[in-house]
Amino acid sequence: MKPMTAEDLLVGPRGARMCLEWAARCAREQPDDREAFGLDSALLDWELARAGSASTVVAFAIEEPEGMAGADILGALERKSPEPPDPGRIAGLVGAVRLREPDDREALELLAEVVAQACYWQPPDERDRVAALPQLRKPLRRAAEVIASAASTVWWTSPMERAGQWVQTFTEPGERPLWPGRPALAALKGWRARIPAEEARFEDWYRRDSRSLSGSWWSIEGFDLVSTTRALADGAPLGLWCVEDWMRPDRVLTQRIDTPGDVCVREIDGPADWADLCREHPVDVTWSRRGDWAECTGRAAGPWVLPDWAELAASGTDAVHLTVRGYLRCAGAVLDVDGARASTVAGWDPDRTFWLRDVGPAGRIAEWEPDGSAPGLAWRRRG
């Protein structure tokens, strides 16, 4: 794989958001620099103004000034929604930040943050909108160059780690089982067989009603498939950290899989790889994705297509792996297929491999829980 470039981090909404978040984090380290330190305030003003709320109480962890009651502090922090800052001012604030490379821990936290904020059934949030502003392209490139050149992100371009892949599941009710209850090919054929009826149902809705209807927004129906990620240096699978639309779980079960020696893996490292799959094995999902993907990407008109995963499996592909770079370039982006049709990657975490064939466990189940004694997000193995 080619080394990651700044452009890789600017072409997709998740990568651009990452660059903005890193600039904001570096700015918070510079309280002596008034311009740089004002970035968080400007972003908050943008969010409040765009939200259109009448007033918002902003809570900070501060010490109570002498002679000022707690109620007075809240009153001082309550403020009317401001006018949105000029995009040029935000660009100037981003450009004023002294940037540095993220270390291993910071790069992981940064990746986890932008993954957790990904949603494909609604419009982009306000920070995503800021990151997409044309005026920020140049200042965000500085952050993109710093992240792309960091030693901590070199592995983000790497293919599936064949020596160690881990399946996981959260323990809350309703979560997917650690191992699916039916063969992969049967699950894929079932998914493919349901598409015509689903498309017809949504088409009937839109023929009668112009209102947007939410439906199947994901790019692969993964509940009945094994999906895995690599383990990090501390032994924790990456999937503990990087989960879209993430709600912090109490416990997670993981188990290493027995990776077949003859496995055929398709790598998704960018838009061209995804478009190839869509052209080789297309299935039309225009009506079922119309509402959600239009909200998410801003592309109002179809047609939309996905790879036909059942057909791909029948052709001899055993698994499909999305690199971290592929995720940052493709997730939530409009991916042109042939000039008329388009697609997107949704509901697929970075470095995750979806298995189109049956695989089994190797070794014992490991249980992980959040480590409250460590700063930020951390995991510790139980037992």
When pLDDT is cut at 50, 70 and 90, the band that residue 181 belongs to is confident
55-56/79-80 β-pairing:
antiparallel
The pLDDT score that the predictor gives to residue 254 is 94
pLDDT at residue number 174: 59
> Looking at residue 374, what is its pLDDT?
66
Give me the pLDDT at residue 173, please.
Answer: 57
Helices (H), 78-183: 87-96, 104-116, 126-131, 137-149
| DSSP-assigned beta bridge partners for residue 345 | 331
Q: Using CA atoms, how far apart are residues 301 and 280, in angstroms rounded to an integer?
A: 22
Mean of all residue pLDDT scores within the chain:
88
Q: What is the pLDDT of residues 297-309, one digit of tens each?
A: 999 878 999 999 9
- For the chain, the residue count is 383
Q: Which residues pair with 382 in a beta bridge?
A: 367
Cis ω before 82 (30° cut-off from 0): no
Q: How far apart are CA 345 and CA 377, in angstroms?
A: 26
Residues 239 and 349 sit within 8 Å (Cβ to Cβ): yes
Beta bridge partners of 379: 370
286 vs 222, which has greater pLDDT?
A: 286
pLDDT tens by residue, 60-99: 333 344 443 444 434 444 445 567 788 999 999 999 999 9
- The domain segmentation of the chain, as residue ranges, is 7-157, 166-382
- Distance in angstroms (rounded) separating the CA atoms of residues 270 and 213: 29
CA atoms within 13 A on the CB side of 69: 3
Q: In this prediction, what percent of the chain has a pLDDT beyond 70?
A: 87
State residue 67's pLDDT score: 41
pLDDT of residue 375: 66
**Confidence band (pLDDT; 50, 70, 90) for 59?**
very low
Q: Give SS3 for 381.
A: strand
Give the pLDDT confidence score for residue 219 in this predicted structure: 97
Mean pLDDT of 343-369: 95
Q: Determine contact, residues 374/362, Cβ cutoff 8 Å.
A: no
Per-residue pLDDT, 211: 82
Dump pLDDT digits (tens) for 242-295. 989 776 667 899 999 999 999 999 999 999 999 999 999 999 999 999 999 999
Whether residue 38 contacts residue 44, with contact meaning beta carbons closer than 8 Å, is answered with no
Spell out the alpha helix ranges (H) of 209-308: 271-280, 286-297
Band of residue 124 on the pLDDT scale cut at 50, 70, 90: very high
Instruction: State the CB neighbour count (10 A cutoff) for residue 94.
Output: 28
- Pick the more confident residue, 214 or 22: 22
**Residue 56 pLDDT exceeds 50:** no
Separation between Cα atoms, residue 378 and residue 142, nearest integer Å: 29
Q: What is the pTM of this model?
A: 0.90
Which pLDDT value is given to residue 378?
82
**Closest alpha carbon to 326 in 283, 266, 280:** 266
Q: How far apart are CA 291 and CA 206, in angstroms?
A: 10
What's the pLDDT score for residue 65? 40
